[in-house]
Amino acid sequence: MATVESENTVKVIIRTRPTQHFASNNIRINLSDDTISIFIPRNQKEGLINNQKEQWSFHFDKILHNVPQEEVFEYTMNDIIKSSVQGYNGTIFAYGQTGSGKTFTISGAPSNFAYRGIIPRSISRLFNEISTKPEYEFNIQVSYLEIYNEIMFDLLPEDGKFLGERANIEFQEDNKGNVIVKGLTKHKVTNEEECFNLLFEGESNRTISEHKLNQGSSRSHCLFMIQLEMKSKIESTEKIMVSKLNFVDLAGSERVKKTGSTGVTLKEATYINRSLTFLEQVVVALTERKGRANDHVPYRQSKLTHILKDSIGGNCKTVMVANIWPEEQFLQETLSTLNFAQRMGGVVNVASVNIQLDINAQIRKMTKEIKELKQELAMHNTLANRGRINYDPYSPSEQKAQMEAAKKFLVGQSEDLEFDSVRQAKELFYQIRHIYQKVKSLNKGKPQSQELPEEMQQPKVVEKVEEKKEEKDDKKNKKEEKVDKNKDKDKKEEKKEEEKKPEENEEKKEEEEEKKEEEIQEEQPPYVPEGVIPDKNTAFKLYKYESQYSKDTEKQMKEDIEKLKEQKNTARELLEKSKELKNKIEEIKTKLNDKKQNKLNLADEMTNVIDEEEVKLLEELKLKKEEYKNIVKQFNDYKKQIYDNKEGLDLMKIKYVENFEKWFLQKYNVSLEEHELRLAKAKYGINIEDEKEKEKAYNPDEEAYMNAKRKIQTIKRAKKNEKNLK
C-alpha cells in the first residue's frame, strides 16, 4: 500500500562537457535564468528561400556549465537521498550523445577520489542519513543490471555461481503493475565499503567498446539499484517502509557515420538507438496524454522502457541529467538532446510513500490470536459443563482408532457411529470415504448392481486393497529401474566417446599452441614517436614485446587458465551428478513415506513391520546417500582447488601489473597514475592541481571509497590481462 501522494514533474538538468572548442557562435548559455539558445544556420544547398528553422531557445530546472562533480551531486541527488529514507522511490538517469560525459557524471573517473560521480557520492550520503535515524532498523540490498542488445544480464552474480557465467534474466509485472526483475541477484550490505565493492565489481563487468568519438563508450544501458526497507525499533507495528533508488547510465545515442562503427559495434549502435527511440516515444505519449490516464503508453516496446515504467510517469521522484558536447560539429546532436530533455520536463510523476506489511509479524500475530481463541474455547466448554475438547489435528494413533471405528460400522459390527465433536465427525466421515474409494477402485469395471461390493462385507477388505496396490507399485518400480539402467548405459557410452576425442585431438592442439607462440614472437611492436608518452594500452603492447618477464608470465598464465578450465568442467559434471542423486534420494524417501502413510490410513496391524519392498528401498537409500556424500566431497575439493588456483592466478596478475608499472616509470620517467591524470585533464578539461587540493581537504568517506576502488581495480586489471591473453 502507498500513502502521502505528491505530484511533481521530472526534474531536468543540463550538463555541458568541458571543451576548448566551445561553439560560442552557435550556443548561448544564460546561467542566471537557466536558459540555453542554439543557432544553426540554414543549409544553403536548400536554396535562399526555405522554411528551415535557425534558432531555438530552451529553459530547464538547472544548467551546469563547467562545474565540478560535487556541485552536480548537490543539484541532482541531495533531496532524493533524503526522500528515500522517508519511503519515496528515486531515480536519476543520464542521457545524451556518445562521449558527452554520461558515465563520468553517473560513476565518475576511475583514477581519482575527487572525480567520483553521483552513485558513489549518493552511497556515502545515504549511509550518513541512515546513521541519523537510530530509531529505525534498515535492510539494504544492492543489484546491478545491464541491458545489452536487448538482453538483460546480472552484473553481480551470486557467490554460489563460482563458474562465473552471466545469467540471462527477464522481468515480469505483479498484479499491481509493478515491474519485478526475475532472476536478478540482490546483495545485502551493511556499510559503505560493502556497497562500493559491489558497485566497482559491477562496473568491471560492463560492456564497453571504442570508436572515433569515445575510447571507452558504454555499449549497454546499466541500472544500479539500491532497495531500502525501514522498520521502527520503537513502535510495535507490522508496517515497513520500502523504497528504491535507481541510477541509470544510458548508452549514448550516436550517428554511425561519425563514429565509424562496423561489425559488432554497428549492431550494438543499432540496438542502442532503437531503445532510445522507444524511450522518446514513451515520453511523447506521456506528455500528450493531457490528464487522460487511460491513454496507452508503449512501455513494453523495449526492455529499457519497461523497466523504467515506475521512474517515468509512475511512483517516483525522478531527475534527468542531459549531457551535451557543445562543439560546432555536434550541434545537431546537442539540439536533439535538448529537445528530448524539454519533453521529459513535461512528464508528471506521482510519488508516494511506500508501505508494506511485515509478513513475519502478521504470522506471529495470527499464531498468538489462534492460541488465545483456543484458550477461550476451552474456558467456554468448562463453564458449559462440557468435557475438554481438543481442536488440534489428529495424531497417527488417533487416526488409527477412528479407522477401526469406521471399519466396524461398515462391516456391521457396530450399529452407530458415536462422536462428541465436529472434529471427530469430520475424521470419521473422511475415513469412510477413504475406504469406499479404495474398494471402488478395486472393483472398477465390475457391474454396479449393488450399492456396496461384496468385498465390503469381508473383514480383510483393506488388506486385499493394499495387496493389489503393492503389486501395481512393484511392476511400476521394475519398469523405472529398467529405464534408469538403459539411461546409465547410454551415458557411459557417451562419456567413453568424449574421452576418446581429447586424445585424438591432443596433437592438433599442441601444434596450434606452438603456432600461436611463434606468432606472438614474430609480432612487431607498436610504433611510438620519440619523445611521446603512449597511452596505457599502447604502452602495454610495447611492454609485452620488450619484457622477457611478460613473455614468461603470459605463458605460465595460459597454462594455469587451461588447468582452471578443466577443473571447472569437472566441477560442473560433479554438480550435475549431485543434483541427480539428490532427486533420486528424494524419490526413495517419498516412496517410503507413502507406504508408511498408507499403512497408517488403513490401520494396518503390521504398521511397524518392514516388508521386502521397504527393505530394498532402505538399502538403495543408504547407497545413494553414501554416493551423494562422496560426490559432494569431490565437488567441494574441486571448488577449493578452483578457489586456490584463481587466487594464485590473481596474485600472478597483480605482480604482472606491478612489473608493468615499474617498467613504465623507468622507461618514461613518469608514473602511470600521473600520466592517466594528464590524459584526464586533456579529455575532461580538469585542472589536476585544483582537484588534488580538493582531494586532500576532503572528508572521511575517502577511506572506504579508496579501499573498495583499489580492490576492484586490481581485479579489473587481472581480468583485462586475462582477456588479452585469450
HEC string for 457-487: HCCCHHHHHHHHHHHHHHHHHHHHHHHHHHH
pLDDT in tens, 551-566: 888 888 888 888 888 8
pLDDT in tens, 662-685: 888 888 888 877 776 776 666 555
Name the residue with higher pLDDT: 113 or 725.
113
- DSSP-derived pairing of the beta strands 208-211 and 214-218: antiparallel
Could you give the percent of the chain with pLDDT greater than 70?
Answer: 66
Using a 10 angstrom Cβ sphere, with 0-12 exposed, 13-18 middle and 19 or more buried, the burial of residue 218 is buried
pLDDT in tens, 210-224: 444 444 456 688 899
Per-residue pLDDT, 144: 92
- Please state, rounded to an integer, the average pLDDT across all residues of the chain: 76
Using a 10 angstrom Cβ sphere, with 0-12 exposed, 13-18 middle and 19 or more buried, the burial of residue 584 is middle
Name the residue with higher pLDDT: 466 or 391.
391
Is the predicted pLDDT of residue 378 greater than 80, yes or no?
Answer: no
Rounded average pLDDT over 22-48 = 83
pTM of the model: 0.55
Per-residue pLDDT, 693: 52
What are residue 217's DSSP bridge partners?
A: 209
Instruction: Answer positive or negative: Cα dihedral of 249, 713, 19, 44.
Output: negative
Per-residue pLDDT, 15: 94
Helices 536-546 & 672-684 angle (0-180, nearest 10): 150
pLDDT in tens, 71-92: 999 999 989 999 999 889 999 9
Per-residue pLDDT, 72: 93
- Per-residue HEC secondary structure of 659-699 comes to HHHHHHHHHHCCCHHHHHHHHHHHHHCCCHHHHHHHHHHCC
pLDDT in tens, 117-126: 999 999 999 9
Could you give the percent of the chain with pLDDT greater than 90?
Answer: 14
Name the residue with higher pLDDT: 176 or 632.
632
Is the predicted pLDDT of residue 461 greater than 60, yes or no?
Answer: no
d(CA 77, CA 105): 12
- DSSP-derived pairing of the beta strands 27-30 and 2-9: unpaired
Rounded average pLDDT over 509-523 = 52
Name the residue with higher pLDDT: 48 or 45.
45
d(CA 72, CA 513): 52
CA 288 to chain centre: 34
Cβ atoms 61, 345 nearer than 8 A: yes
pLDDT band at 164; cut points 50, 70, 90: very low
d(CA 423, CA 430): 11
Is the predicted pLDDT of residue 606 greater than 90, yes or no?
Answer: no
pLDDT band at 698; cut points 50, 70, 90: very low
Instruction: Answer positive or negative: Cα dihedral of 552, 553, 555, 559.
Output: positive
d(CA 64, CA 66): 7
* Count of C-beta atoms within a 10 Å radius of residue 410: 18
Rounded average pLDDT over 402-411 = 79
d(CA 721, CA 111): 19
Cβ atoms 119, 247 nearer than 8 A: yes
C-alpha cell at 224: 544500479
Name the residue with higher pLDDT: 690 or 38.
38
Name the residue with higher pLDDT: 517 or 52.
52
d(CA 686, CA 115): 9
C-alpha cell at 285: 505519449
Q: Which helix (H) or strand (E) holds 275?
A: helix 263-287
- Residue 410 phi/psi, 5-degree rounding, is -70, -35
Name the residue with higher pLDDT: 64 or 717.
64
